[in-house]
Chain A
Amino acid sequence: MTASTDRPVDWPKVRLHVVTGKGGTGKTTVAAALALALATSGRNVLLCEVEGRQGIARMFDIDPLPYEERRIAKGAPDADGRAGQVHALHIDPESALLEYLSMYYKLGRAGKALDRIGAIDFATTVAPGVRDVLLTGKIYEAVQRPRGGRHKDQVTYDAVVLDAPPTGRISQFLGVNSELAGLAKVGPIKSQADKVMELLRSPRTAVHVVTILEEMPVQETSDGIAELRAAGLPVGGVVVNLVRPQELSPSALALVRDDAVDPTAVTSDLTRARVDVDAGLVESLVAEARDHAVRRQLEDEQRALVAAEGVPTYELPRLAGGIDQGALVELAQLLRLQGMA
């Protein structure tokens, strides 16, 4: 499959793609596919994770990622066969804090002392919001990096994709800076938080929500979108993941649902296709199709709810073989065909 270059991209101005979603919806898969989709025509994309899961390393079947940008994969090629590069970064708050300290302060021995008495642990795990501002601060740095980097060997990125915390925590994670601003009224953490917030609320950011076509995830998507809007954060698209195969046309589905499939016709088809056929086989196939039809109908109900959110939506199929790198490229192409990248 080759992506057409004609399709206008829905998010041309966006530099930071934040991908969230309920647990179990395949948020990391979608973030990885989006990064591959954006990494075309020689572009560099950074894929970040912040939850310490090493989900990216697993997805691409590589060693656990350090706190260091690494080139991990070639992107999905464009119509002329030109790909870009996907880099990955695993951001942990401890490393981010130490880097932050060494970047802005000459703490020297005090830094070590802080670590020894547990202040680093304190700042990164207990102090409300400091952890999140460190994580988003590092992402901010990658997005805002000047052309040519801050030092040689540093890559400048055309886009950054963040595999973000789940929908239930996303507004807090991104909006935490305003919460923090209430606590830290002045000081460097506060001004850092303000700068990050400005980026997050700007049109250069889009927060995409991943869902599957089931009741709870769709409900959570709708709640999440409302919450993001209330927090003044830019809502991107909804990616509907793990969509069931569409092997039956609407008319065939209707036949199945109405119990109107003609067993004699199926039997003769199967015989023609040289399948060892008996009544039990036909009955089983039709019964399986009925199970499928029930679920397709439930999916359609949920699909209508997703559409009612009024944001661009993209659909990705559930792949029977699971997710490997080949599958990710396939999903990336599908995202591009639909104009997400």
Chain B
Amino acid sequence: MKITPMSTTPATTASSRPAAAPVLDIDALLDDRSTEIIVCCGAGGVGKTTTSAALALRAAERGRKVVVLTIDPARRLAQAMGIEQLDNTPRPVPSVGADAGGSLDAMMLDMKRTFDEVVESQASPEKARQILENPFYVALSSSFAGTQEYMAMEKLGQLHRQALADGRYDLIVVDTPPSRSALDFLDAPERLSSFLDGRLIRLLVAPARGPARLMTAGFSVVTNALAKILGGQMLKDVQTFVTALDTLFGSFRQRADKTFALLQADATSFVVVAAPEPDALREAAYFVERLTDDDMPLAGLVVNRASPSARTALSAEAAITAADRLQQGDSSSVTAGLLRLHADRVRIIEREQHLRERFAAAHPKVPTAVVPAMASDVHDLDGLRAIGESLARQS
């Protein structure tokens, strides 16, 4: 199905952006060869995955050698991109325009496999097997709330190292997991690694490290308490697990630190994605502040799903008044219906504009691009191209 924006009337789109927000120049960002990584982040349900895919496709068709790492694309979009199979390896996307000399590979993150690979690459085969078979590891690697974020960052690090080594890619676009909150994505890697490196683990593995560290007062208090709560068997599983994983602690922390540094580097750009809704913009504001605090390079804000602007300047109030008049005579008046629809459309746009202006007032320096809502979901390359086009066309 062909996707087109519902309406764009130049006269009203120009004035519908808050005056304070500078425009995010997407093509300049994509064409800048010093941009090596673009991370798309934002609340759930705002179209992050679509935005990442659209940016990646546009960059590729403008000559970049791109790989896009998606987390959980809609089934049909995944099919269109040739990545419905989750095999954790980038695959070329079919039918990408190659005239400008670029290319596009895509992959879907398999967090458990990524975790397994880290373990396998760091531990001896014997030890790796012990870890991979531990029930605690199985649960941790597939369901811990932060694992997905951690593994997305791990995969990003791997792709980046590979890109540096063989030059296969010069741009990596990353979609981020639908986190519980904005915090998770930036904090999970640190949290997981500090857990694995933490004092609790030190205490739990203490017996395995020899008699010198054995049975401090703190240790028995803690293990007794844990045994009470979790039951002895689970505690034993945990102990076996952390003991086996012991050798990997250092490398986990090192990797997390490296990834964090990579995100802070100039070659990285964050694009915060939002929808013109209070919650999504609040999360976006939070992200923007957090990125600034952590010295992460912020490219700008993309506001997806903006309602189509009105096609005429008739005010909502005038339209309602007129509709009331008509309906006094004829309650089924079609013209009254047209007027009420128009009033509704104007009110929604005014509300969205107000929300964006509030954001811009609080964050006047954040470049912004607004993308009108598409009539239906995007599930092919043409749809992604249309999104990329409207991202770039911010007159």
Which residues of A are at the interface with B, using a C-beta cutoff of 8 A?
A: 22-25, 28, 51-53, 55, 58, 101, 105, 107, 109-111, 113-114, 117-119, 121-123, 125-131, 165-166, 168, 172, 176, 179, 182-190, 214-216, 219, 245, 247-249, 252, 255, 261, 265-266, 269-270, 272-275, 280-281, 284-289, 291-292, 294-295, 298, 320-322
Contact = CB atoms under 8 A, between A and B. Distances in A.
B376 A298 contact: yes
Contacts of B181: 51-53
A32 B64 CA distance: 47
A292 B341 CA distance: 8
A119 B227 CA distance: 12
Contact of B334 (A189, A252, A298): A252
A281 B377 CA distance: 30
B203 interface: yes
Contact of A185 (B231, B318, B333, B376): B231
B188 to A, nearest CB: 9
Nearest to A53: B181
Contacts of B321: 273
Contacts of A248: 334, 337-338, 341
- Chain A binding surface SS class: helix
Interface in B201-225: 203, 218, 221-222, 224-225
A285 B230 contact: no
16 contacts: A24-B280, A110-B225, A113-B218, A117-B200, A117-B218, A125-B195, A126-B144, A176-B143, A183-B237, A184-B230, A187-B231, A188-B231, A247-B344, A266-B335, A269-B336, A321-B347
A128 B195 CA distance: 13
A53 B282 CA distance: 11
Given A118-B200, A255-B334, A265-B335, A275 B233 contact: no
B325 interface: yes
Interface centre among A128, A179, A252 (most CB of B within 10 A): A128
A129 B139 contact: yes
A189 B227 CA distance: 10
Given A261-B334, A291-B7, A51 B180 contact: yes
Interface in B24-57: 43-46
Nearest to A255: B334
Contacts of A166: 44, 178
Given A122-B200, A131-B145, A247-B337, A52 B180 contact: yes
Contacts of A274: 322, 325
Contacts of B347: 320-321
A284 B311 contact: yes
Given A110-B222, A187-B232, A288 B143 contact: no
Of the candidates B45, B136, B192, B342, the one having the most CB atoms from chain A within 10 angstroms of its own CB is: B45
B275 interface: yes
Nearest to B202: A117
B136 A288 contact: no
A269 B326 contact: yes
B228 A125 contact: no
B150 to A, nearest CB: 11
Interface in B170-210: 178, 180-181, 191-192, 195, 198-200, 203
Contact of B342 (A214, A249, A285): A285
Nearest to A183: B234
A23 B181 CA distance: 11
Contacts of B275: 24
Given A273-B335, A285-B312, 15 more contacts: A24-B44, A105-B225, A114-B222, A125-B145, A126-B144, A128-B144, A185-B233, A186-B232, A248-B341, A266-B334, A269-B326, A270-B322, A285-B341, A287-B311, A298-B375
B135 A182 contact: yes
Nearest to B314: A281
A110 B221 contact: yes
B340 interface: yes
A122 B195 contact: yes
